Chain A
Amino acid sequence: MSGLDWLAGAGVALLAAGSLAPVLRLRAAGALTFQALGVGLLGAAGALVLFGAPAIGAGFHDGLSPRLGIDGLTGFFLATIAIVAAPSLVYARDYLAGAARGRALVGLSGLFLLSLVAVVTARDPSSFLASWELMTLVPAAAILVQRSDAAVRHAVFVYLAITHLGGAGVWISVLALAHYGALGDPGAIAAQGSGVQALVIVSALIGFGTKAGLMPMHSWLPRAHPVAPSHISALMSGVMIKVALYGLIRVLFEWAAPAPLWAGLVVLALGLLSALGGVLYALVQHDLKRLLAFHSIENVGIVVLGLGASILFASGGDTTWAAIAFAAALLHILNHGVFKALLFLAAGAFERAVGSLDVDRIGGLLRRMPWTGGAFLIGSMAIAGVPPLNGFASEWLTLQALIHVALGPSLGLGLAGAIAVAGLAATAALALFCFVKAVGLVLLGAPRRPEAAAAVEAPAGMRSGMVFLAGCCVALGAAPGLLVPSLMALAPQPHHLATEPSLRIPGTGSLPSPWLLLGIVALTGLLWLLRGSRRAVPVPTWACGQRIEPALAWSSAGFTKPLRLVLEGILRPRREITTVQEHGLVRSVSYRGEIPHLFDTMLYGPVQRQALAAARIARRIQSGSVRAYAGYLLALLLVLLVLARAGAIG
C-alpha cells in the first residue's frame, strides 16, 4: 500500500469513528473533531491525486463486487468535500452544543459525509447506487431528528418523493451503463448507437439533475435546505448537490462520451433556465435560508452552463475551449461550495442569535456580530460575483467560454451562445441586486426587533469555521490560476495551461486577480489613512417629522418592487388587501402578498392532481381483505407462469 492509500484509509477510519458517536457514547465535540480530521485527510489524499499523484484504489468496472478508488476527478470532489465539510464540522461543535438530540445529529452528520465520500469513490454500480440512496436518506433523517413539526415533515416528504422519483433516472442510467459494459470501458455506449446513448444521457439528466436542483426538477431544494440544521444545510447545498453534478459529469464526459451536440444544447438550456429562474425566485424570498437555497439553483445553473459549453466545443472539435469550459464548471463547483456553505453557516448563526431568518425582522447585525457579519458580507460579495473574490473568477471564466460559443462559426450555436451570455450576465446582475438586498436588510440599518438589538456574536468555534471559509473565498479569488490548469487536465481532452496565480486564457484577455486584490487592498488602506481620525457624526434620519419606526425601514418586498413590476408577467404575484371600516372610517388595512412558485402551480400541481386521481381509481382494488390481496398475488403468479410458458418473458 502506498502512502496515499494509508492517508485515505486513515481518513475513512476517523470519519467512521466520528460517525459512531451515538453508539460509542463519544462527546459530540470529540466526535465532530474526529470527523473533521477524517474528512481533512481524505481531502488531502484527493488533492494530491488531483495535483498529479497517481490514482489509487480500483478503476471502474461493471461487476457487482464493491470497489473503491480515487482518480483525478474524484480527488477534486474529495478536496471540495473536505474544504466545505471540515469548517462546517468545526462550526457544528458550538452550534450543536446543548442541542436536543445533538449526539444523534453528530452521528448522522458523519454518516452523511461517509455517503458523500462513498458516492465519489465508488468504482462499481452497486456501491455507487447504494451510497447514492444513503446520501438521499441520511439528511432527511438529520432534518427530522432536529425538528418534526408538520411543515418540516411535509418538506422532507417532498424532498424524498421528488428525489426518489427523479432518482429512478440515476438507476436507469447507471444500470444501462453497467449492462453495456460502459463503466469499465468508456466508449461502449457510443458503440451501441444513438438510441442507447440518448436513453443514458436523458436518464442521467433527470436523475442527477433532480438531485442537483436543476430546473424544472428543483422543487424539493428550496423546501429541504432551509429546514435542515445549518451545518447540514451547508453540506447539502455546498456538497451534496455537487456530488450529483459529479455523477452527471461522469456520464456526460466519460461513460457515455462523446456526448452529442443535442445533449450540449439541452444542458445549456437547462443551465440557463436554472440560473435565471433560481435568481429570480431568490429575489422575492423573505426567508434568508430559502433565498440561499434558490441561489443554489442559480449557481448549479451556472455550473451546468459551463458543462454545456464544454460539450458544444468538444462536438465542434475545439478541445482547448472544451477543456477551459470544463475547468470553469469545476471551479464554480468548488467556489459555490465554499461561499454557499459560508452563507448557510452565517444564516445559522443569525438564527441562533435573533431567533428568526425573516430578513424583514432582523437588521443591524454587522455591528453586533462583526465576525459573522463580516464573513457573511464576504460570502455575499463572492456569490454576487464581485471581484476579486472566487465567485467572480469562475463566473468570468464561464462567461469567456460562452462568449467563445457565441463567436463560433455555426449560426445556430452562435445564437445559443449569445443567449447564454446574455442570460449569465443578467443572472450575475440580479444576484448582485439580491445580495445588496440581503446584506442591507440583515447587516445594515437599525435592528427591527428587540432580539436583533440584543444579538451577540457567535461562539469561537462557529466563528472560526466561517472565517476559514471567508478566507477561502479570498484565496480562491486571488489565485484561481493555480487551480485551473489541474482542472483542465481532468477534461476528456486535457489541455495544458501554465500554472500561475493569474488566469491567462488563450484567445482572450487575462484576469490578473492577484493584482486586482492588491490594488483593492492598497486603495482601501489609502482611504483608511486619508480618513485619519475623522468620524461621521450620527444624526437622526429625516422622516418628514414622523417617529422613526422599524416599519418605515426598507422591506424585502419594497426593495424588489421595481423588479417585480417589470417581471409581473413572469412572477405573477398575488396581493390581498383587506380594509376594515366602521361607520365610514377605515379602522385597519392589512396587506398580504406572495409570489407563487410557478413550477409548483403549473407543473407539479397538475401532475400531483392527476396522480391522486389515478390513485383514487387504483384504490378500488384495495379492498382491505387479506384474501383478496392473496388472490391478486396468485393471479399475478399464474399470469407470469403462462407468459413464461409462452416465451413472452424469461
Chain B
Amino acid sequence: MSTATIAVLVALGFGVMLARRRSFAIWLLTAQSLLLGVAALTLVDEGPGLLLAGIILVVRAVALPALLSLTRRRTPEPGPVTPATTVVVRLLVATVVCLIAVASVPPLGLGDVAAEHGAIALLCLGIAIVIMRRPALVQVLGILVAENGVYLLAVSVHGGLPFAIELGVLFDLALIITVAAAFAHRIHGEIGSGDTDLLRGLRD
C-alpha cells in the first residue's frame, strides 16, 4: 500500500478526532473505511480473496456507517455536547500520541514500515478519540478508527490472513458496533443525551 494512501487514512482519522458534528465525523469514517477497503481490493487478485475483500468493504464502508447514521438520526442532541477540550488540545494530543506510538513500535516484520506505522498510529488515534470525545456515537467511531488500524495491519500481511480469521473478525466487529449503537440509543433514551460523562453518576 502506498505511503500517500496511508497518510490519507491517518489524516481522515485526525478528522474524526477534530470534527464537531457527528454527521461529518461519520462521513470521514466512511471515507476512511472506503479508501482502506478499495486499497485492500487492489492487493488481492484471487477470486475468493477478492470476494472476501468485497464483503469486508461493503460491511465496513456501507453497512456500519449506515447503521451509525441511523443511530445518529434516532438520537438527536438537544444542543451541541460541550467538548471535553478545545480543538487545538485535541489536535495536540492526537499528534503526540501518534508520534509516541510510531516512535515506539518495534519492527513487526511485515516488510512495509509505512503500513506498520500507519496501523499503530490509527490504533492509538482511535483510542485517543474515545478518550477525548464525549458523545457516545463519536466514541464508537473511535473504535472503528482503531479497528481500521488493525485491518490495515491485516491487509499488509504478506499473503493475507486466513479467510476464517478475516470473517471472524468482521463478524465480531459488526456485533460490537451493533451492540454499541444499541447502547448509544438506550443511553440517549435514558438521559436525553449521548454525553457519556453524564454516565459517571451511575457509579456505585
Contacts and interface: CB of A to CB of B under 8 A. Distances in A.
Contact of A626 (B101, B120, B123, B130): B130
B128 A634 contact: yes
Nearest to A640: B104
A645 B107 CA distance: 8
Contact of A623 (B106, B120, B123, B200): B200
A630 B134 CA distance: 12
Residue among B101, B104, B134, B201 having the largest count of chain A Cβ atoms under 10 Å = B104
B106 A627 contact: no
Interface string B140-154: 001000000000000
B106 A644 contact: yes
A624 B203 CA distance: 5
A130 interface: no
A645 B104 contact: yes
Contact of B84 (A627, A633, A634, A638): A627
Contacts of B131: 627, 630-631, 634
Q: How large is the interface on B (under 10, 10 to 19, 20 to 34, 35 or more residues)?
A: 20 to 34
Contacts of B124: 634, 637-638
A631 B105 CA distance: 19
Contacts of B120: 641
Contacts of B130: 626-627, 630
Nearest to A624: B203
Nearest to A641: B104
A624 B104 contact: no
A625 B142 CA distance: 16
Contact of B199 (A624, A630, A633, A645): A624
Contacts of A624: 199-203
Nearest to A649: B106
A637 B128 CA distance: 11
B197 interface: yes
Interface residues of A, number: 17
Contacts of A625: 196-197, 199-200
Given A627-B84, A627-B131, A630-B131, A637 B203 contact: no
B97 interface: yes
A650 interface: yes
A641 B101 CA distance: 7
B100 interface: yes
A622 interface: yes
A147 to B, nearest CB: 28
Contact of B127 (A622, A623, A634, A641): A634
A397 B79 CA distance: 83
Given A634-B97, A634-B131, A641 B203 contact: no
A481 to B, nearest CB: 56
Contacts of B156: none
Interface of A: 622-627, 630-631, 633-634, 637-638, 641-642, 644-645, 650
7 contacts: A623-B203, A624-B202, A624-B203, A625-B196, A630-B142, A634-B127, A641-B105
Given A626-B130, A627-B130, 9 more contacts: A624-B200, A626-B199, A627-B84, A627-B134, A631-B131, A633-B127, A634-B127, A637-B127, A644-B104
